[in-house]
Structures are given as structure tokens and as C-alpha cells.
Amino acid sequence: MSVDGWNTVLVLGGIRSGKSEFAESLVAEAPTVRYVATAADAPADDAEWAARLAAHRARRPESWTTEETADDPRRLADVIASAGPNETLLVDDLGGWVTVLLDPAHQPADDTATVAELAAAVRGCAARLVLVSPEVGLSLVPTTPLGRAFTDALGAANRAVADACDAVVLVVAGQAAWLKPGAPQPGVVPAQAGPAPLTATGVPAATGATTEPAAATTATGAAGGPVGAAERAAGGPVPASAEPDGAAWAAPTMALPVVATGLVIQPGMELPMPDEYAGPQAIERLATLDVPGAGLGALERVVGFAAATQGTATPAPWGSVRVLLLHGDHLGGAAAGSVDGESARRARQARAGRGVLARLAAESGADVQVVETPVSAPMEDEPALTGEQVEAALRDGWRLAEEAADAGVHLLVLGACGAGTEAAAAAVLAATAGAETPAVLGRVVTASGEIDDAAWMRRCAAVRDALHRTRRSPRGAKDVLAELGGGDVAVATGVLLGATARRLPVMLDGPVGVAAAMVSRDLAGQARHWCLLADHRGDPAVRLAADVLGLTPLLDVHLDLGEGANALAVLPLLRSVLALAAALPARPSPGGGGEDGDDDGEREPGVDTDEPDFREPEPAGPGPTSTEPETEPVDPSGRRAG
């Protein structure tokens, strides 16, 4: 599980409530995590406590690093305050921290001031921060002075930290209830008929009069109903002019943003997820099919993906497919080694129905839509886009996905053909995943097939200089798009968000698509679950992003036919897999009847088969030798066989 839109979150819960496991799930997708352990080591005579600590250590992935603050509880605030914007911290837990704080070895001390220092560090933390703490306020008042001192100190710490955090969640019996931000407040409501949309907590939004025009209720909700103008209270995009200064992050909801009314796409949107049950059910069903070999192998994943995104255990092959080919050049060193005018020629070729992409599209019955995106300024010298251009590009991308869904498209293929796209994607990966530029920037190959090392070095230098120029800039999704990503990555991000809102799967093809998927995590963490990666092409940026996003390429054939064309080349295979999975019958049970004619001639009552019985009748033999009276055979339904 991942929750995007917050920077700091406090996870509360009772003993054995599952609070630590839930907190760990919040940071499971981070490339690196610094685990801050606050509790002191278990005494030698306390095996049970030692076992608890060992269980916590065993759950941590090997990629996590651990830092302990038990020797000096005041150091926890310093660790949090010094964390950088690209780091992820998990502090577990404040109960152990308060225990060490109250230890006589650390007294006398001003505990109130120490708690205040911790809250201030949390409030100003630049990293993503998850803190775990026991909720002790629901128990009886302890009977001992030490017990009362602990509950009082921990209660004060929880209140201070909760006030400083962006979000607070209470875990009870493994179930999470988000306390902050709270449920929507009564006020502006959708102008719609029927029941009000549900918030993330399952409570219907407030109903009543509204002053919003009817035109603001044109989007489609996750459940298929119209969504109105309650996006501010519900957590969707809000009008830029309507957001008060210093407004807190709003509670998420399944209500979809309305981009046609000038609303702003913002971090923390809660968009639909694929069906969590249909995918596993489809994979389980594959094991029962009558296949002579071992089955579909790695291509089982495409069946699970299609099942989850279609909401059925027997998904159908994708019928209508649309390729969105984004064309927008990146100026400056990012385009070093690119032939002038080559990207525009490729775009014109695709529009005219010529070239590899158009031929593959014709063979697979897909349509190609070439989309012109804003030209990106040299990122080493200035922001690639302005803030206004980013907002417009996101809305344009969302609109493209909306148009595709309205046209009955079943699958989007996302590619790009602009100059400098590889360098822009590498810069985005460096900013969002901490990647080293040379490790994710592919080699530059000339039209004659030669490797141009000088052009590759100029591209690396452009990304390096851009990262240096923005080293103190925020790393929010829109900031990354404006400073580094540029027009095509911004439009692609909008496409992913809009497709997620409309439950439309997207096949990514190339570095621009995966870079957009990386950026979309901070806007709507659900977007990556609607993405499919057919082949990594041998591109280092695609490999890294796929690993971070949890997208396993279906094939490893290193296709390099141009973005969009690679996906269409494997589309017939994927369609065949889905058609087989939907049409094959179940494997007959051992010793039972089947379609191969080796059964004993019995038929299931009431079942009519399409295949005639071509078996020769058995020759008549002598009559029965038994002395019992002969009876006419009766089938299981009670009817006489004669």
C-alpha cells in the first residue's frame, strides 16, 4: 500500500494492532528507507521482548538502513531535522522513545522542551517521514506513579507530533482509520441527482444547496455517477482561486477531478484502483485450464493485469487500442546528437500513416494520435516549463485520456518521439529516485549505427548542470515537471492520471512514459497500478524506473523500433494470450470424462454436447448369466434409458 500527498504521517495503534506493519507498508515502495529505532536493547533476562525486537528486524528489507537513538533520545529531533528531501524515514516508535526519555539515566531534563523540539523537527522535516506510536489514551489510568508519568508524557508527545504531521492514522485490529485530514465538512456539495458520493471514509458527502453551475458536474465518478464541485472538501483538484492561503491537504475521495472547468490537479488525489480480487482469481483459474504444457509462463502476468483492470477473472482481449505519440523537443544539451528536424519528420510520418508505427498500427487495428506538446527550454539554464505550462499540460493529458475512454478505447499505448526525451527522463529519475545520470542515460546512436560518446557526454553534462541548478528547489511532482521534465513528460503524466480516473489501462513504451509514472506517484499513487510494461528495450532508465515502480516487463527481447511501435509489435501476442485464457476449457479431472472420447460413455445429466459420439456400438453378446431378474437401466435423473 502507498499513500501519496503527505510528507509526514503519524501511525497510532494499540498493542498488536498492526501499526508497525501498516507504517512499513507506507514506505514499501521507497527505493531506500532509513529505519530509526528508538527502543533500548532487551535485557538479558527478557526473552519475550528480545523476540519482539527480532521480529521487527526480520521484517526490514535488506535495502533499509538502521539508525538507533536509544543512547540519546534528544538526538531523534536532530536526525529528523537533518534528513534531506530525497530521503524516507520510518521512526518506530515514540513509545520506546518516551521510555528512554524518562529513564533516570537521562534525568533531570525538561521533557516538555524535548517533546517540543521533536514536534518542531517533524513540522520542518524535508524528508518523507512516518512515525509510529502506541495509543495509550483509551486505557485506564495507571495505578503507579511511573505508569502515570509514561502515559502522560506519551500522550503529550502524540498530541504534539500529530499536530505537526500532515496526516494521522489510527490502526485498530489491522484496520486503518485516517484521523487527519478529517472527513469533509458540510458546505459546497455536488449539483447532482441521486446519492452523494462517498468519501474515503465511506461517509456520504454532505448534501444541500449549491451555487456551482451545472456545467461543473460533467466528470464521471469511480462508480459511474456524475461528480460535482465538492472537490476541495473531497480531496480532488480544486480551483486555484478557491484555495485559501495555508490550506491543509484535503481528505482523499473517489470523486474524480473535473479538468474541463479549470480545476487544478493536485497531490494526494485518490483515484480508482484495479480490482484486487479479479487478478489473483484469474491466475488461479489458469492453473485449471486444459493446456498440454506448463502454461503461459511469464505471460500469466498479462492475464492478471487485464483481469484486475477489467474487473473479471476471465478478461477479454483488448479490442480498441489507441497510440498516443507525444512530440515535443527538448532544447539545449539534452538533444545533443539528435538530427535537426528528425523528430518532426517522425511525427509527420505517423500522421500520414507511413513508417513502422503506422504499419504495425494498421496490422493490429490500432489508431495513432500524434500530440504536439510544449517545447522544453534548456533545463541546464532555466526551467523547462513555466508553472502555467505545467498545469495546462497536465490538463491536456487528462483530457486525452478522457477522450479515449469516451471513444470506447480499451488500451492506451504511450510513446514519445521528441528530441532530448532520454535526457529529460534521466533527469526526472535522478530527481525522484536518486539515480546517477550516467547509469540511466542510454548511449547515443547515430543514424549510421555508430555510438556518439561526445553527444552522450554533453547530455550527461546538461542533466548534471540542471540538477545542480535545482539542488535547493522543491522536489514536488509539479516542480520536477517544470524544472526538468518538460512538455512531453507533463502531458504523459496527465494521460496516466486521466486514464486511472477512467479505469483505462496504459501500456508504457519508452523513458518518457516511465518518467511520467514516477512523477504521478506524488499526484495519485494509484496510477502505476494501471500501467503495463511490455519490454524494457534494454534502456537503463526504463529498467530502473520499472524496478522502482514494481513493473516487471513481460518480455526481454530488446525491441527498439521506436516508442509506440515496440508495444504494438508485442500486442498480437498479448491478445492471443488473453484469448486463450478466456476460451480454453478446464482440464478434465483424473479418471473422469473428458472431450477426448476416452470416457465410459456416461454423460452428465442435462448436459448436451456439441460433439457427436462416433464410437462403434459394442457387438451383442449372450444374455445375462445372473439368475436375478433383468431390469431396464435407469439414468441418474430417474428416466428409463430405453
pLDDT at 263: 53
pLDDT at 212: 36
Residue 403 has pLDDT above 80, yes or no: yes
In the chain, the amino acid numbered 449 is G
Q: How far is CA 98 from the centre of its chain?
A: 36
Can you tell me the distance from the alpha carbon of 198 to that of 78, in angstroms, rounded to the nearest whole number? 41
| CB-based contact 234:205 (threshold 8 Å) | yes
By residue count, the chain amounts to 642
pLDDT at 328: 92
Give which of 8, 167, 20 is closest to 88, Cα–Cα: 8
Give which of 383, 323, 334, 332 is closest to 357, Cα–Cα: 323
| CB-based contact 514:490 (threshold 8 Å) | no
Residue 158 — very low, low, confident or very high, per pLDDT cuts 50/70/90?
Answer: very high
pLDDT at 260: 45
Using omega within 30 degrees of 0 as the cis cutoff, is the peptide bond preceding 93 cis?
yes
Known catalytic residue at 563? yes
DSSP three-state, residue 560: coil
* Per-residue DSSP letter, 268: T
602: cell is 456416461
380: cell is 541546464
Dihedral angle of Cα 403, 408, 413, 417, to the nearest 10 degrees? -40
Residue 210 has pLDDT above 50, yes or no: no
Can you tell me the distance from the alpha carbon of 30 to that of 35, in angstroms, rounded to the nearest whole number? 12
Residue 106 — very low, low, confident or very high, per pLDDT cuts 50/70/90?
Answer: low
Residue 223 has pLDDT above 60, yes or no: no
151: cell is 502515559
* DSSP code string of 416-466: E--TTHHHHHHHHHHHHH---HHHHSPPPB-TTS-B-HHHHHHHHHHHHHH
| CB-based contact 455:507 (threshold 8 Å) | no
Residue 581 has pLDDT above 70, yes or no: yes
What angle, 0 to 180 degrees and rounded to 10, lies between the N-to-C axes of helices 278-286 and 565-583? Answer: 70
Q: Which of 563, 595, 604, 632 is catalytic?
A: 563
Q: Which residue has the cell 531506500?
A: 32
3-state helix, strand, coil in the chain (%, to 5): 40, 15, 50
pLDDT at 371: 93
Q: Flag the least confident range among 58-62, 273-277, 423-427, 592-596.
A: 592-596
Can you tell me the distance from the alpha carbon of 87 to that of 41, in angstroms, rounded to the nearest whole number? 26
pLDDT at 592: 56
Can you tell me the distance from the alpha carbon of 203 to that of 253, in angstroms, rounded to the nearest whole number? 10
Q: For the chain, what is the total number of helices (H) and then of strands (E)? A: 20, 14
Q: For 199-206, what is the mean pLDDT?
A: 35
How many C-beta atoms surround the C-beta of residue 590 within 10 A? 5
pLDDT at 46: 73
pLDDT at 214: 32
Q: What is the pLDDT of residues 305-347, one digit of tens each?
A: 999 999 998 999 999 999 999 999 999 999 998 888 888 999 9
pLDDT at 331: 94
Give which of 177, 145, 174, 180 is closest to 14, Cα–Cα: 174
Residue 386 has pLDDT above 90, yes or no: yes
Q: Which residues pair with 36 in a beta bridge?
A: 67, 91
Residue 495 — very low, low, confident or very high, per pLDDT cuts 50/70/90?
Answer: very high
